[in-house]
Amino acid sequence: MKFLVILSALVALCAGHAIPTIPGDNSHYVEGESRYVWIPDGEGVPRLVDLEEPAVGSPLDARNGANNEYWLFTRRNPNNHQLLRINDNNSVRNSNYDRNRPLMVIVHGWKADGNTALNPLIRDALLHVGDNNVIVMDWRRAASSAYTTSVRDVPSVGQHLGNFVQWLINNHGGNWNNVHLIGFSLGAHIIGNAGRTVRRRIGRITGLDPAGPQWSDNPNVLNRNDGVYVENIHTDGGLLGIFNPIGDADFYPNGGTNRQPGCSLSGCSHGRAFEFFASSIIYNGFNGRRCANLDEARNNNCTGSNLRMGNTDFSKRGTGLYGLSTGSSWPF
For 54-101, write each residue's pLDDT tens digit.
999 877 776 789 999 999 999 999 999 999 999 999 999 999 999 999
What's the confidence (pLDDT) of residue 5?
A: 35
Sheet holding 320-324, edge to edge: 77-84, 69-74, 133-138, 103-107, 179-184, 204-208, 230-233, 249-253, 320-324, 287-291, 306-308
CATH fold group of domain 58-324: Rossmann fold (3.40.50)
What pLDDT is stored for residue 16 in this prediction?
66
Phi, psi angle pair for 309, to nearest 5°: -85, 135
Out of 156, 270, 279, 280, which one is annotated catalytic? 270
The predicted structure's pLDDT at residue 192: 98
30 within 8 A of 206, measured Cβ to Cβ: no
**Whole-prediction pTM:** 0.94
Tell me whether strands 249-253 and 230-233 are parallel, antiparallel or unpaired. parallel
Quick: pLDDT tens for 270-313: 999 999 999 999 999 999 999 999 999 999 999 999 999 999 99
pLDDT at 12: 40
Q: Note if 209 is an active site residue.
A: yes
Q: Choosing from 185, 266, 269, 279, which is the catalytic residue?
A: 185
Question: What does the DSSP 8-state code read for residue 249?
Answer: E
329 is annotated as an active-site residue: no
Q: Which of 89, 108, 87 is nearest to 157 (CA)?
A: 108
Of 10-19, 74-83, 134-143, 320-329, the range with the lowest mean pLDDT is 10-19
**Domain spans in the chain, listed from the N-terminal domain onward:** 58-324
Pick the closest to residue 164 from 198, 205, 206, 201 (CA basis). 198
Which whole number is the average pLDDT over 165-191?
Answer: 98
Catalytic hit among 138, 153, 209, 250: 209
Instruction: State yes or no: is 145 an active-site residue.
Output: no
Stretch 19-25: mean pLDDT: 95
pLDDT level of residue 219 (50, 70, 90 thresholds): very high
